[in-house]
Amino acid sequence: MVKPNRAISQHGIVGDMETAALIAQDGTLDYLCWPALDSPTVFAELLDAEKGGAFTIAPQLDDSRVLQLYVPETNVLITRWMADGGSAEVMDLMPHPDARIHPGHGARCILRRISVTRGTISFTIRCAPRFDYARAVPDLAAIQSGVEFSARPLTMRLFASVPLGCEDGAAVATFDLSAGQTAWFTLGGDDLVLSDDAMISAEIAETTAAWRGWAAKATYRGRWREQVLRSALALKLLTSREHGSIAAAATFSLPEAIGAGRNWDYRATWIRDASFTVYAFMRLGFLEEARHFGRWAGQRVMASNADHPLRIMYAIDGSEARDEEELTHLAGYANSRPVRIGNGANVQTQLDIFGELMDSVYLSNKYGEAISHNGWQHVSHIVEYVIAHWQQPDAGIWEMRSQPRHFLHSRVMCWVALDRAIRLAKKRSLPAPIVRWAECRDAINADVWENFRHPEHGYFVQEQGGTELDASLLMMPLMRFVSSTDPVWLKTLDAIRDQLCDDGLVYRYRTTDGLNGTEGAFTTCTFWYAECLARAGRADEAQLTLAKGMRYANTLGLFAEEQDVRGQQLGNFPQALTHLAFISAAFFTDRRLDPSHRPNWQP
């Protein structure tokens, strides 16, 4: 097995709610898409150490210890080197949109400021962008206090407070700083202009204040607040400021299993993941984010048709998600090929998305803006689609690339779609054939209880007529399909513990899925399992499971999609679904441990 130069877990993320960059613990910016999160990469060394391109900052310090941390309650990242010969740090950020207010400096950029806090240290800087997923080496041209990189149709500029040179397709610099001295670099589009020390300091201060101002809106005051807030800040970076959509992750093709081909692009908005994110935001008091996504989702619903009322995923701007494509020129993370962009699951049938969407619509209406007349008509079309198709097989929540099957999770979510539509119609006195809808909802309920049980043990199973388990069953009590203390459910919960859990690691399933290799444990499922324990009244077990799950975050509190058998991070990063599942589990477990911690709203 080929080992990568930098582990997935050895990264922090910075962003401006339009795109995001990963910064490794050694100070290398080795992943960035520009100008948007779903644009081609300009740095992709994380996916190919030779071709991908990177922006390195290397202090000449022997035997240094490197630490990363966020400025508290912000997405401003600090990487710090500490050694006998001196200490230094680099502060990385993308100016918050509310901070881009200075005359002549409203352009988007990445800002990197180096400070020396002890001794005199030599630094080597190398900025080598490789445009269009490393298919284009840009031309370089010297400009005042900077370098311009150009390869049609993209042009980027790098400005610096130290002299820059050009060498082998990269902007380079070597310089010394002593204690108290700083140097800065800004990288952005062709509208970026030269800054000065005062403007750099102002943008750092105002970006810090903007993030802290947003974090201060959080209403959560329970246990694990710092980690909960870090998860909220990560989710905010994945939320489009312009559109309101929410990306599933910042990256593409980071493998779920090394060398097995399980490499997917998550830079799109899944209706399922984003709907769950709305729930997490609302629990923490971030209602505007929930409303903004609700408007974006509403536009998708309004643009749908009777034959297929909703797609499972969309591009961040709401257009059709791109088809899957392999980048054969890239080696892949740890030589895990193929490197894929786009996602072939965009054409799958996944019936569960209607339940997740309707749950978020119901909650948004209950605690936010009332649905419009036209919006309700489109929602009614969705309900009718569910009624007509709920008995069909599909690819399921895990996007199986095998033959469609009758999955329990999809069946339950069809029930949720009808249940929430009925509740909403009654709450808002909206016109609807409630009796007919209720009859279908009850038929789905009966089907689940009759046809999705283990023939010998009686607990719920993954698919109709099957005997295997699936961690998505953990959503059943979370979506209020079954009581958290129902005897059949408790038997199911214990079966999941015995068959899918491994000391805080929870696997999605043990069945074949049509793909090569064996995937890792799914971090989201750990937190679903913890919340189910808490809801079942097993608060001590829930707290321990939650504590184990939190240890699978990296040192910055960021979660990837999966872990290997040693608990090392795998998959795309940071993963929205995991962060929102953690928020939900922490919220409910804290409430169980201390009933006085009552939320200001109820689902």
Per-residue burial over 131-154, b if 16 or more Cβ lie within 10 Å, else e, is: bbbbebbbebeeeeebbbbbbeeb
Q: Assign 599 a pLDDT band (cuts: 50, 70, 90).
A: low
The predicted-structure confidence for 500-559, as pLDDT tens digits, reads as follows 999 889 999 998 777 777 788 999 999 999 999 999 999 999 999 999 999 999 999 999
SS3 state at 564: coil
Cα distances (Å, whole numbers) of residue 75 to 13, 70, 102, 210, 434: 8, 6, 20, 10, 46
The predicted-structure confidence for 191-201, as pLDDT tens digits, reads as follows 999 999 999 99
Q: Please, are residues 325 and 404 in contact by the beta-carbon 8 Å criterion?
A: no
Residue 102 has pLDDT above 70, yes or no: no
* Angle of CA points 510, 511, 514, to nearest 5°: 130
Who has greater pLDDT, 589 or 299? 589
Residue partners of 335: CB distance under 8 A and separation at least 6: 2, 259
Q: Assign 273 a pLDDT band (cuts: 50, 70, 90).
A: confident
Please give the pLDDT value at position 241: 95
Sheet with 146-151, edge to edge strand ranges = 65-70, 77-83, 86-93, 109-118, 182-189, 154-160, 146-151, 139-143
Residue 99 has pLDDT above 60, yes or no: yes
Q: Assign 361 a pLDDT band (cuts: 50, 70, 90).
A: confident
Helices (H), 501-562: 523-535, 539-550
The predicted-structure confidence for 378-416, as pLDDT tens digits, reads as follows 889 999 999 999 999 999 999 988 889 999 999 999 999
Residue 63 has pLDDT above 70, yes or no: yes
Half-sphere exposure of 112 (CA within 13 A, CB side): 25
Q: Assign 1 a pLDDT band (cuts: 50, 70, 90).
A: very low
Please give the pLDDT value at position 124: 98
Least confident of 44-58, 345-359, 473-487: 345-359
Please give the pLDDT value at position 407: 98
Q: Please, are residues 585 and 533 in contact by the beta-carbon 8 Å criterion?
A: no
d(CA 49, CA 333): 9
Least confident of 125-134, 298-307, 474-483: 298-307
d(CA 490, CA 472): 15
Q: Assign 2 a pLDDT band (cuts: 50, 70, 90).
A: very low
SS3 state at 590: helix
Which DSSP letter does residue 4 get?
Answer: P
Token representation of residue 592: 């169980």
pLDDT (mean) for 23-35? 97
Q: What is the mean pLDDT of the chain?
A: 93
Q: Please, are residues 99 and 37 in contact by the beta-carbon 8 Å criterion?
A: no
Please give the pLDDT value at position 598: 58
Residue 213 has pLDDT above 50, yes or no: yes
Q: Which domains does the chain have, with CATH numbers?
A: 11-212 (2.70.98.50), 225-593 (1.50.10.10)
Please give the pLDDT value at position 163: 97
Rounded to 10 deg, the angle between the 539-550 and 523-535 helix axes is 160
What is the percent of the chain with per-residue pLDDT over 90, rounded to a whole number?
81
d(CA 589, CA 429): 35
Of 539, 548, 540, give the one whose Cα is nearest residue 582. Answer: 548
Least confident of 282-296, 311-325, 521-535, 556-570: 282-296
d(CA 186, CA 201): 12
Please give the pLDDT value at position 600: 52
Please give the pLDDT value at position 101: 62
Of 365, 475, 485, give the one whose Cα is nearest residue 414. Answer: 475
Please give the pLDDT value at position 375: 85
Residue 601 has pLDDT above 80, yes or no: no
Residue partners of 212: CB distance under 8 A and separation at least 6: 73, 74
